[in-house]
Structure 1
Amino acid sequence: MISQLKISLKFFAGFAFVLAMMGLASCDKSSLDVTSEDYFTLGAMDSLHRNGGCGRGSCFEFVYPISIKFADGTTAEVSSNENMRETIRTWKEANSDATERPTLVFPLEVLASDGTVTSVASEDEFKTLLATCPPQGRGKGKGRGRGHKPGDNGQTCFKLNFPVTVQLPDSTTATAADKAALHTILHTWKKNNPTSRVRPSLVFPISVTLTDGTTQSVASKEALATLKESCGN
C-alpha cells in the first residue's frame, strides 16, 4: 500500500511538473509574441534620441513635429514623443520581419538647455552640433546607458509649446506661431549669416508640456537648465 502510494505521488509530481513546464513555455511564447514589437520600438526610440543628442540626459530636446524614415523608405511626421513611439510600434506590427531601425529626417530643429534653438540641415551638421555638448550630454559617451534598460534613453524631457519668440544674434526678435514658422526664421538667419557662431535663442518665459501632460512656464535659461537636469537621470 505504501509502495503504491509512493508511486502515485511520484506520478502526480511528474505530471504536475510537465503541466507547469507547458504553462511556462506557453507564457514565454506569449511574452515573446507581445514584446517583439515593444522591444523594437524601445530600441528605435533609444537610437533616435541618442543619434540626435536629444531627450533624457542629453543636451537637446527635439522641437516637434519632426519626421522619421523607415527601412521601407516611408516617412512619418510625429507630433510628440508618445506619438513617435506609437508610430514606430504600428509600423513594426505591419512589418514584422523588419530589423532596421528608423532614422531622423532632416532638416529638424532642436532646443538646447541654454535656450538656444538650432535648425539642423543634415546628419553631418548634427555631429558638429553634438561636439559642442559636454561628453555626458552627447548621447554616445562611454558610460551612456550604464545601469539603464532599453527605452530609458528614448524619453523626452518636455515638449516646447508655441507660439515662441526668438531673439536673433543681431538683437532683433521674431515670433513663430508654429514649428514651420520657427524653421523659416532659423533657416533665413543661417542663410543670411553663414559665418555666425552665435545661435538664436528663445525669449523667456516659454511654455513646455511635461511627460505627465502638465504645462509649465519656464522663466529663464537657468530654469530651463534645471528642468533638463531634473529629468536627466
Structure 2
Amino acid sequence: MKTTISREQILKSSILFFSFTAFILSALLFTSCSESEVSESLIDDTALITKIETASKVTVEESSLPAATKTSFNGELSDTFIKTVEFATGLGYKVSVGTDNESRAESSADVFFSAEGRQLADKSERAKKRRQKCFQFVFPIDFIMPDDSSITLNSKEDWTLIREWYKANADVKERPELVFPVNVTLEDGTEQTLIDREELKAVKDSCKKGKDKRKCYKLVLPVTFTMPDASVITVNEKSDFKLLRRWHKANPRVKRKGVLNFPVDITYKDGTTATINNADEMKAAKQSCRD
C-alpha cells in the first residue's frame, strides 16, 4: 500500500527539526559562555588579589568593610574573627583572620574582598593549606569563655556566637577554651573521640604531614576517670565521654583534667591489643605509634 506524505507534514517536520537544532545549539552556547564566565571570573579574582597584595595599603577599622562582606562572615567565614583590615585604594581589602575552629590546619589566614565587598576566590596553594580542614567536629561542642561562661555550638552556623561574644566584650583579648573530649569525623568517615589537646595535636600533625589521621589507638571501654574534685566518672560507651565535658562545663575555673585510671586495655589501628598499667606505659605506647 502506497503511503502519501503531504506537503504540510513535510513542512511541520522541517520546522520541528530546525527548532530542535536551534535549542541544542543555544544550550551548548549557554553552557560554553557560562563556563567561560566562571573561568574569567576566577582569573580576574586571582589578578585582583595579586594587585591588592602588591599595592600600597592603609590599615582601616573593621567597620570600614562594606556591608556585603557580612554574607561571607556569616557563611564560609563564620568560624573566623577579624584581626586586621587593610585597604588598597580602588582595588579592595586584605583581611587577616584568626579562628578558634581547631579543625582548620592553621589558626590564621588572609582573605580578600573587592572594593564592593565581594569575597575573592583565592585559589593559591598557600590559602588552601591554611583553610584546609583536617576533620569535622561532631556537634555539639563547647567553649569556656574568659568570663567562665560557656557557649555551646550545635551547628557550624553557631560559630558566629563566639564572634558576637567578643563584640560584646571588646576589651577581652584571651581566646576561648575548647572543652574536651570532642568527637570528630575524619575524611574517610571514621569517627574518633579525642580525649585531650594532645590527641587533637597528633591528628593535626598527621594532617599536615599527609599521614593516616586516625588515632594511634583507642581505649577499650569501660574506663574510669578520677576528676579534680575526687569524683569518678565511668565511661561505659562512647557517648558517655560527654559526661567529662559536662563536668568541665560545670567547673570552668578548674584547669586540671580528669585522670584516667589504670590499668586499661587499648586497641591499636592494626587491631592488636595491649594492657597499659600506668601513665609511663601509656606515653610509651603513644611514642611507639609516632616511631
Structure number with bigger Rg: 2
Fold in common (TM above 0.5) = no
